[in-house]
Amino acid sequence: MLQKVKNISYLCKVAFNLDEEKKQLAILPAGAEVISTSLQIVEPLAGCTIDLGVGQDLEYFLNNVDCAAKDVADTSMPFCALKNEVVVATITGFKSKKEAETKPAAGPADPKALPAKPAAKEEKDPLCILRMHYFLPSEITLEV
């Protein structure tokens, strides 16, 4: 028996750092019907928030998601892309790469100085993962 399937489900998964004010994360093709969106905070950053949107509405999906702790923010806000749309994250309180790389220079070694203490755990870069579940109109034939 043959069956025609009219819509195919897709999952868009994008990992990104919190190091810029605006990030273009994904492109939704024309005709895409978004049914759910989630934003996972993997490596937190205190004082940072994220807005997630498309086109001119930069807060369409999520607004003021706090990035201070590991968490997942979900929304079932439906969206239909009438044309190709770019999903954009607006990050406030981001940590630029230049800030993260600046460390004080070490002075000359003193032979009478105490042995150095082991270095503290290296701080990980703030990281988030965007997941969008959407359907795209297309037709395939399945054999059942």
Of all helices (H) and strands (E), which one includes residue 122? none
Q: How far apart are CA 74 and CA 65, in angstroms?
A: 10
Q: How far apart are CA 135 and CA 42, in angstroms?
A: 26
Neighbours of 11 (CB within 10 A): 9
Q: What is the pLDDT of residue 11?
A: 96
Q: What is the pLDDT of residue 96?
A: 77
Q: How far apart are CA 55 and CA 60, in angstroms?
A: 9
> Contact 34/48 with Cβ under 8 angstroms?
no
pLDDT under 70: residue ranges of the chain: 97-123
Q: What is the pLDDT of residue 123?
A: 64
Q: What is the pLDDT of residue 35?
A: 95
What's the pTM value of the predicted model, to 2 decimals?
0.76
Give residue-wise pLDDT tens across range 55-71: 889 999 999 999 999 99
Q: What is the pLDDT of residue 71?
A: 94
Q: What is the pLDDT of residue 142?
A: 84
> Contact 41/124 with Cβ under 8 angstroms?
no
